[in-house]
Amino acid sequence: MGQIDSALICYQKSALLIEKDPKREHVLNQGFIRAWIGELFVAREQFRLAAVFFRAAYLKWEQVAPPRASKVMQLAEQIKNRLADAVQIDDRDIERICLDWILGRSVDAQFR
């Protein structure tokens, strides 16, 4: 578990750099970091947060990389089976939740 936590910290820092540099911000990179963070949340069995990050990756990729978007949606569908009560979150809120997490705001408790 220690390596997962360390990886999450590194990914969070990377995501922060991607978000804070608008000249280098690229939709593909935003999608990748969201998908990778989602995978780590799956490893931590934080399936709700994983679903949020997978959906965010999908939303970044749906227009610019449809095959990647499709693949990440399959991951999201797989983890829905592990959720006892799959709460629907509006797409407008998905990115806000991701950015809150990236910026270090506590969202973990509401998505356990």
Mean pLDDT taken over the chain: 89
User: Which pLDDT does position 89 carry in this prediction?
Assistant: 86
pTM of the model: 0.89
Q: Is the pLDDT of residue 73 over 90?
A: yes
The packing angle between helices 27-43 and 66-80, to 10°, is 20
Determine the Cα–Cα distance for residues 99 and 5; give it in Å rounded to an integer: 18
Q: Is the pLDDT of residue 112 over 60?
A: no
Q: Which of 103, 42, 100 is nearest to 74 (CA)?
A: 42
Q: How many angstroms separate the Cα of 95 from the Cα of each of 2, 40, 49, 98?
A: 27, 18, 12, 5
